[in-house]
Amino acid sequence: MCPCFRKMRELEDLSHHIQNKISSLQCILDLSVVEFPQNKMKKLGQELFALDRLLEDFEKCLGQHKEQLKHLKELEELFRKDLEDVQHIKDNVPAHMPRKKGPSHGNEPVIKQNEETEIKPTQPENVKKTIKRYIREMEVIIMPEFESIPPYMKGRVSYDQLNAALHSINTAVTAKYKILQQSVKTLNNHSRKLHQRFKDQETKDTKGQFFVVEDDIREFTQMKVDKRFQGILNMLRHCQRLREVRGGGITRYMLL
């Protein structure tokens, strides 16, 4: 049995007992017009004393119940606030929040203008299958990181706009390295040119790393490479999401 219900049961029992005592004393007082023997008077005094003790216990028990009720109301308020917070989080999930990706169907676009990669007919079963390699992406900026960016650096760029730009850069990185991971023989003319450009831009400092240049941003995203874009790159560098590697007249934005 729940302790709270057990206390209530005890309180009810104690209340009934007190009522019985009071009824008994009332009967005695009603008969007080009759002269009582000494032993009856003594018993009346004992009953009154017992009733006084019961009343003290009753008040003590009542005080305990009031304290429990106060505690339960505080818990109820805490649960209510937690429920409101959870509902608020549920109703305001940021659009840039990473979500679990569904099973791949192999039909994701890797280049713009609806150009599809030309794949050769299916090879015999004894030909080794291409292993899909991991492509690095930047993690989203969390609010404490955004708040740590100096105001002069943020300008008018909002938290959501910064993460939207981050995702656009991730899109460019993914599209670029999907092309690099394919055999040149399986690519169409446009993709082959891109593949060669990507290779020409690599240096010893970028070996084994993932990076994009401004032309990749223009090729695979709708972002404008302007002064605002440069400000966003400064913010991403501040948050240690990427760094610049210069050389050959090209600025490479390498993911960290």
CATH number of the domain at 155, please: 1.10.10.1890
Say whether both 56 and 153 belong to one domain: no
For the record, the structure tokens of 154 come out as: 């943020």
Task: Say if CB 116 and CB 185 are below 8 A apart.
Answer: no
- Say whether 213 sits in a helix, a strand or coil: coil
Number of domains into which the chain is organized: 2
Say whether both 84 and 185 belong to one domain: no
Mean pLDDT score across all residues of the chain: 79
Say whether both 87 and 151 belong to one domain: no
Length of the chain: 256
Say whether both 72 and 160 belong to one domain: no
Residue 207 has pLDDT above 80, yes or no: yes
Q: How far apart are CA 28 and CA 17, in angstroms?
A: 17
Which has more confidence, 107 or 244? 244
Percent of residues, the chain, with pLDDT higher than 90: 43
For the record, the structure tokens of 114 come out as: 């609806």
pTM over 0.85: no
Domain that holds residue 154: 143-255
Interval 199-206 mean pLDDT: 92
Q: How far apart are CA 180 and CA 192, in angstroms?
A: 9
Task: Say if CB 86 and CB 46 are below 8 A apart.
Answer: no
pLDDT score for 64: 81
Q: How far apart are CA 239 and CA 163, in angstroms?
A: 12
Query: Any idea what the Cα angle at residue 42 is, between residues 40 and 47, rounded to 5°?
Result: 95
User: Would residue 120 count as lying in a domain?
Assistant: no
User: Would residue 112 count as lying in a domain?
Assistant: no
User: Would residue 135 count as lying in a domain?
Assistant: no
Which has more confidence, 216 or 75? 216
Say whether both 78 and 163 belong to one domain: no
Interval 59-83 mean pLDDT: 84
Secondary structure of 11-70 in the HEC alphabet? HHHHHHHHHHHHHHHHHHHHCCCCCCCHHHHHHHHHHHHHHHHHHHHHHHHHHHHHHHHH
Give the model confidence (pLDDT) of 20-37 as tens digits.
Answer: 777 776 776 665 555 556
Give the model confidence (pLDDT) of 210-242 as tens digits.
Answer: 999 999 999 999 999 999 999 999 999 999 999
